[in-house]
Chains A and B, each alone.
Chain A
């Protein structure tokens, strides 16, 4: 009897330990291909590196992981130590950065404070400092691994802002426009304009997560359908910016997977609050509220974008606001309340279903960026028409036409999305609605002094937690008190890849997509 009990116990014990120690097939990492086959071809939406001075070759907006910044951007949009291990605000508009040691550039030169100073000066010289107030001479070497950066005006968000790829650290004495030499997990291989960019593994990379791919080739394919066909044929292994309407079809194809990125840009509808006639309808807050209540963001996300987007409460990705994201109240569609508001303001439905008041129709003119498919715009138009609002959205054919329309002020609503490219929680509200950023857009969209005051407080907050809270409060004023912007969903940024590509995890910020964990497997 005792022997039987012992035997059963042993069997049970062996089963609990997993028998021969192997994991279940669903948990095991797929077997990687040999190193000489660890190459990846990625289809990107065109050669974005062609600019007047090609200053950001391989760096931005498509990040080939050649270069790195002092401060990184985590998947949660929080700043992370990267080439700087620590940073503190020391007063007098100065941040002190302690640098990582034993890091070398791809050409073997040591990474140190002088390299940081050189890189900051380069950004200043090229006038690409964004709104950091970094100027000539801002960066000063304290010692070999310590650098101070002093802004020309008070800017307590500097540490979060320099996670933007613009502030990549490049080796002195090199020309980034021809051959960027940096510290990243991949190093520059070759570049053929309008054709491809090739990067090779940096075997001496300092990071704990070593790159697994031997080589990545970024192929520039402007046409979205061609990118998808290239993926299906196997000529490329991964593509990005798959149209949401195509995702279900691609998911159904053998050998292909779809990977939507977490929220990194929010689709919002900016309203013209200060326009000249005839674009004055939205100066009435009740009309703005009615418009906002007519939109059903969940339907947009689930029906139009096939579940590839999530409803978002504010104009910034929630993650960048940290725990304070809950301060931005969410909005539920309420068509009945929208109609009640409009009726109370004297807008009566006409025979065509569109509301009228004193001989004027409730017709709004809108513009959208060219990234939005016509079907999505028609979907939005149909939603507000139920409330008796005639919304005519015009999709701009390109970026220049879109900017011209916005600058003209001849619009009531603007359907757009803004990318969160760094860890600064107040970046998007400050850039697109803040009155102190004087441009054609902000003059029309600024929601007033309460919002401005909160943005001021966010910009001058001594710590990130306070900045996040003030940014969230500012966004809440923007969307829930003044109804100056209507947040809908995140903008669906969708990758698709072959099933033999493993380890790919979409970053919410396209500009910070890491490639270190990606590898090829023997899966068909």
Chain B
């Protein structure tokens, strides 16, 4: 188990390294000169060639690309991610302010997606081919297909403009969290519902479940004590993968709802060609994603005794 965890940790570090190289390369390839963006915002007019040269030197973008990347990497290893070119503050300061807001949003959305998706999937599976099953499957398809910005506008119009039940935008209270969290949760909830239905159906067809039913165990006990635990093991994987969706989806949701989190910051950083900040966000997102999936992988040993036994025998 320890060796497995160590191997997974090494692969996480290598993956992070790869992600930063890729992000740096994409940034270099993207059209636009960061020095020009920085100067245009503060000068109010196109900069002269001399001003551009001076700013490129100040930002360090006139150095060879490998030097730029290695310089950044050396700082990152020490926990120094540099300064935001456009905002003039430390990258970690800009991020630290925003991370809690995104975490709140993402955790809320994750919780909602589990609360919505798993019960719907279980009900659909236990009432297979009923009207409930058909409606839930159609709903899940709908939820997975709709782009988040469309869902966002629809929910805002209905619940904020028409019914005045919640605010349109902003943050600071539980009411502000409702619409963004629901919007972000719908996609993963739909996927979870479909997947849960599929795994529960599979488990319900297993011999041990039929045996339990034949022995007179009550239906609810068969479901909750025998079937669900095994059915939810693969669902844990899907839930872990949905972290990626939550982080990616937060860019759009935070922008639409004016929720000043990491996603909103990332969009601005990309538009501003503020590469230190973009790198910071990518590193944050990749770290969260990889760590969550590492935890998911390690949790298998707890959830599935066969994994523990195989590990011992291996």
Contacts and interface: CB of A to CB of B under 8 A. Distances in A.
Interface of A: 50-55, 60-61, 126-128, 130-131, 164, 166, 193-195, 219-223, 225-226, 229-230, 232-235, 397-401, 403-405, 407, 421, 431, 438-439, 441
A230 B153 CA distance: 11
24 contacts: A51-B87, A52-B88, A127-B51, A128-B42, A166-B44, A222-B255, A222-B264, A223-B258, A226-B156, A226-B257, A229-B161, A233-B161, A233-B167, A398-B32, A400-B30, A400-B33, A403-B36, A403-B37, A403-B40, A405-B31, A407-B33, A407-B36, A438-B48, A439-B48
B38 interface: yes
B187 to A, nearest CB: 19
Contacts of B86: 50-52
A399 B270 CA distance: 11
A128 B272 contact: no
A421 B153 contact: no
A423 to B, nearest CB: 16
A375 to B, nearest CB: 18
Contact of A398 (B33, B164, B256, B271): B271
B258 A226 contact: yes
B88 A51 contact: yes
B88 A54 contact: yes
A369 to B, nearest CB: 12
A316 to B, nearest CB: 15
A398 B268 CA distance: 10
A329 to B, nearest CB: 28
A50 B271 CA distance: 13
- Range for the number of chain B residues in contact with chain A: 35 or more
A219 B115 CA distance: 34
Nearest to B47: A439
A229 B164 CA distance: 11
Contacts of A60: 44
Contacts of B257: 226
A221 B170 CA distance: 9
A194 B260 contact: yes
Interface string B267-289: 00001110000000000000000
Contacts of A225: 153, 256
A400 B36 contact: yes
Contacts of B49: 438-439
B271 A128 contact: no
B188 interface: no
Contact of A233 (B45, B153, B164): B164
Most buried by B among A232, A400, A421, A441: A400
Contacts of B69: none
Nearest to A234: B164
B160 interface: yes
Contacts of A223: 255-256, 258
Contacts of A229: 153, 156-157, 160-161, 168-169
Contacts of B255: 222-223
Contacts of A405: 31
Most buried by A among B31, B164, B272: B31
Interface string B138-181: 00000000000000010011001100100111110000000000
Contact of B88 (A53, A404, A407, A421): A53
B240 interface: no
A357 to B, nearest CB: 31
B33 A50 contact: no
A403 B273 CA distance: 12
A232 B46 CA distance: 37
B163 to A, nearest CB: 10
B32 A195 contact: no
Contacts of A400: 30-34, 36-37, 271-273
B91 to A, nearest CB: 14
Contacts of B87: 50-52
Nearest to A43: B169
B210 interface: no
Contact of B45 (A194, A222, A230, A431): A431
Most buried by B among A127, A225, A233: A233
B46 A439 contact: yes
A220 B260 CA distance: 10
B195 interface: no
A420 to B, nearest CB: 12
A235 B167 contact: yes
B41 interface: yes
Contacts of A128: 42-44
B180 to A, nearest CB: 11
B81 interface: no
Given A399-B32, A403-B46, A421-B44, 7 more contacts: A193-B260, A226-B257, A229-B153, A235-B168, A400-B32, A400-B33, A403-B40
B258 A53 contact: no
B52 to A, nearest CB: 9
A226 B161 contact: no
A55 B42 CA distance: 8
B85 interface: yes
A176 to B, nearest CB: 13
Given A130-B45, A220-B258, A232 B161 contact: yes
Given A226-B258, A400-B272, A403-B33, A61 B44 contact: yes
A55 B39 CA distance: 13
B269 to A, nearest CB: 11
Contacts of A235: 160, 167-169
Interface in B45-89: 45-49, 51, 85-88
Given A221-B169, A235-B169, A403-B33, A52 B42 contact: yes
A53 B43 CA distance: 12
Contacts of A194: 260, 264
Nearest to B171: A195
Nearest to A192: B260
Contacts of B38: 52
A481 to B, nearest CB: 25
Interface string B240-271: 00000000000000011110100010000001
Given A54-B88, A438-B49, A401 B32 contact: yes
Nearest to A396: B31
B262 to A, nearest CB: 12
B258 A222 contact: yes
Interface string B101-143: 0000000000000000000000000000000000000000000
A226 B256 contact: yes
A524 to B, nearest CB: 15
Given A52-B87, A194-B264, A403-B33, A226 B169 contact: yes
Nearest to B36: A403
Given A128-B44, A223-B258, A439-B48, A195 B170 contact: yes
Nearest to A193: B260
A370 to B, nearest CB: 9
A399 B271 contact: yes
Most buried by B among A195, A223, A405: A223
Contacts of B45: 130-131, 431
A404 B33 contact: yes
Nearest to B94: A193
A113 B79 CA distance: 48
